[in-house]
Structure 1
Amino acid sequence: MKILFGALLVFALLLATCLIEPTMAQDSLNCGGKCKGRCSKAGVSDRCMKYCGICCQKCKCVPSGTYGNKHQCPCYRDMVSSKGKPKCP
């Protein structure tokens, strides 16, 4: 009985680790906070926040400042829309 209980406990801990790790990774990136800073001076802030969030989740980074500095995040810089224009604000 002790062996079964121990095995179930180890399984539960492994399962919990697998479920918690991705959530913690998203929190440490904090796309919402970084995009809020990036879009703080945007004329259409809701659109800026939407595309910044998409780019942040995919690229795992957001350039500093409210404009420019895209050299800090090449993935963010190189994403383009279906029309060939820069996707990330």
Structure 2
Amino acid sequence: MAISSSLRPLFLIFLIASIIQVSMAGPYSCTPEECPSKCSFRCSATHHPGNCIDTCLDCCLKCLEVPPGTFGNKELTPCYNSIKTKYGVPKCP
């Protein structure tokens, strides 16, 4: 199957973006299917697990990464750590 000349630039951009995304996967990256279990563990020590899990899932699905442990360590996951609320404070637990 040949790619038409009008679609080649778009195909190349998609291919390069895919390669970059795979190469940027860090040690704490995950698939969308893994987000619920990773967020359940991440939020297991909080007094508000429902709110924590909902927020964690939002962050995980955007970044495909969750920091290790139940608290802190967000500096190990740059995307997860960079998400802020509309007030400029960290959003992800």
Query: 1:76 and 1:56 mapped to 2: Cα distance?
Result: 7
Query: 2:92 and 2:32 mapped to 1: Cα distance?
Result: 19
Q: Do the aligned residues in 1 keep the contact of 2:66 with 2:77 (CA within 8 Å)?
A: yes
Deviation at 1:84, TM superposition (A): 0.9
Q: Deviations over 1:13-61 (max 9, x none)?
A: xxxxxxxxxxxx533xx00000000000111110000000000000010
Identity over aligned pairs, percent: 43
Query: 2:54 and 2:38 mapped to 1: Cα distance?
Result: 12
Partner amino acid, structure 2, of 1:26: P
Root-mean-square deviation (Å): 0.9
Query: 2:32 and 2:60 mapped to 1: Cα distance?
Result: 10
Query: 1:41 and 1:83 mapped to 2: Cα distance?
Result: 25
Normalized against structure 2, the TM-score is what? 0.65
Q: Secondary structure at the match of 1:32?
A: helix
1:41 to 24, 45, 64: 45
Unaligned regions of 5+ residues in structure 2, if any?
1-30
Residues 1:73 and 2:68 are matched in the alignment = no
Structure number with higher helix proportion: 1
